[in-house]
Amino acid sequence: MQGRSISRGVASGDLLVSSEPISFLSGVDPETGTVVECEHPLEGQSIAGRVLAFPYGKGSTVGSYVIYALKQNGCAPAAIINTEAEPIIAVGAIIAGIPMVDRLPPEFSSLAPGIRVTVNGDTGEVSSD
């Protein structure tokens, strides 16, 4: 599937999908990669090493630094897919070196969570393995 490249690089992982936006500041523990935001659909799940798909980010611009801290702590997602990228998540992915794409076609929503996908941030492509 062809999308728009946001952050360069190529990575694979199991697909973790949220229908809700994510706040990385106070919503994700930078020491463990666990979603801690109360009542979030992914609460209690780890994003570490997975391809994290969610509509867009929310919250403070410090979220970019939290994404960077996740990478430094070995707890970052392998790649990020957004419906529509916004600056907080895009900057975090870029400074952390996490491949990121957005604007995938509607058929992306038919992929089952948990399948292995590869995100090519150089070309904007996402494929299931």
Is 60 in the active site?
yes
Question: DSSP character for 87?
Answer: H
CA–CA gap between residue 18 and residue 46 (Å, rounded): 12
Q: What is the dihedral of CA 59, 10, 6, 108, to 10 degrees?
A: -80
Q: What residue ranges of the chain have pLDDT lower than 50? A: none
Supply the CATH number for residue 83's domain: 3.50.30.10
pTM (whole model) above 0.75: yes
Catalytic residue among 5, 46, 60, 127: 60
Q: What is the pLDDT of residue 129?
A: 81
Q: What is the pLDDT of residue 75?
A: 98
CA–CA gap between residue 97 and residue 9 (Å, rounded): 7
Which domain does 100 fall in, by range? Answer: 4-128
Structural domain count, the chain: 1
Q: What is the pLDDT of residue 1?
A: 96
